[in-house]
Amino acid sequence: MTSNAHTAWDGLILGASLATLDAPAGYADILDGALAWKDGALAYVGPRSGLPDAPQRLAREVIEAKGWITPGLVDCHTHLVFAGDRAREFELRLLGASYEDIARSGGGILSTVRATRAADEGELLRQSLPRAHALISDGATTVEIKSGYGLDFDNERKMLRVARRLEQLGIGVRTTYLAAHALPPEYAGRADDYIDAAIEWLPKLHAEGLVDAVDAFCEGIGFTPEQTRRMFEAARALGLPVKLHADQLSDLGGGALAAAFDGLSADHVEHTSEDSVRAMAQAGTVAVLLPGAFHVLRETALPPLEAFRAHGVPMAVATDCNPGTSPLQSLRHAMQLACTHFRLSPEEALRGATVNAARALGLHDRGVLRVGARADFVLWNIQHPAELCYWLGGRLAQSVHAGGHRVT
């Protein structure tokens, strides 16, 4: 909690309490705090009383504030770039249709594929921007965005290009290649051939700087563990980290499969076995909880939360923002759902959307308030951090900074 040797800081906020999360447990709070930044990084994190000089001599801009400051939220699992919506499918599920029924009848992911393929890059960006703005306005400063609604080279590329263009909003964006999301109609009955094609596209997209990680949907209605393994081997050959849609609807050993490739994360994990939990713990693979999909699908099988805690597997929380199973545009609301459905404590949920979510993206420069970390932080109009998981809806963020720049 010390300052860098400095010329004038770019900015300094005084008076707000700080939930630094820079400790193994607790909020690591600092009351009547001071937070300074310079050149996009945090330069002072500590009590106001510890400042080395009068505030006006220390920074170009000095802001008196009330409330709490937390690290910027990190949404480590989204499908934010897509065209169209699936509101009708939401209605069908309420009338009794299952997720599998809808998928097998040509709906589900493939209906979004049709809409996304029909949209050009400009239209896809136009439709995606409001979702990105919604996440930012509720505290997100880093967002992971997956492909997977193109399912051919040109349209996967289009999705990843749009995801990269969202960096214009000033936030951090991590792109994930998810061509192994569903089988496109032109490959019906030829899943192995499709995986061959998706593996062939990967080096080309990586060479264009469009891929930060590789993911797959390993499930009975998705791809087999062996097909997933082939995709992950291709990622490893390129030095790309992997993530996995694992054990959402059944236990195919997805958590262990992700761990076998030193995966950054295994996501969903409702049906993950304790053997897979042990493998994840040994590999350092983060369990990403997606309570939005659990809520919308009205699932009942809880992730093995006590096993994650017992084996020391970090738990992240994300929106899974997507048009079909989690049309959720607030990471703070995802935190609330994680507390309500999964019985996470508010502290666990906040850590899940900050430090653990950053770890699930392989990012170690954010998710905490610490000198030298990226200056991603949110000033909240709250009396205690637990309020972030208490209120359903409403605007709590007074200001959101990413890389030292105010983005809302």
Structure tokens belonging to residue 256: 């262990």
Q: Do the annotations mark residue 271 as ligand-binding?
A: no
Q: Do the annotations mark residue 56 as ligand-binding?
A: no
Q: Do the annotations mark residue 7 as ligand-binding?
A: no
Q: Do the annotations mark residue 245 as ligand-binding?
A: yes
Q: What's the rounded Cα separation, in Å, for the pair 284 and 360?
A: 10
Q: Do the annotations mark residue 251 as ligand-binding?
A: no
Structure tokens belonging to residue 208: 């264009």
Q: Do the annotations mark residue 86 as ligand-binding?
A: yes
Q: What's the rounded Cα separation, in Å, for the pair 297 and 108?
A: 13
How far is residue 263 CA from its own chain's centroid? 15
Q: Do the annotations mark residue 26 as ligand-binding?
A: no
Q: Do the annotations mark residue 149 as ligand-binding?
A: yes
Q: What's the rounded Cα separation, in Å, for the pair 266 and 263?
A: 7
Q: What's the rounded Cα separation, in Å, for the pair 35 and 16?
A: 9
The answer to whether residues 177 and 215 touch, using CB atoms and an 8 Å cutoff, is yes
Q: Do the annotations mark residue 324 as ligand-binding?
A: yes
Which residues sit in the known binding site for N-formimidoyl-L-glutamate?
149, 322, 324
Which residues sit in the known binding site for Zn(2+)?
77, 79, 245, 320
Which residues sit in the known binding site for Fe(3+)?
77, 79, 245, 320
Which residues sit in the known binding site?
77, 79, 86, 149, 181, 245, 248, 320, 322, 324-325
Which residues sit in the known binding site for 4-imidazolone-5-propanoate?
86, 149, 181, 248, 325
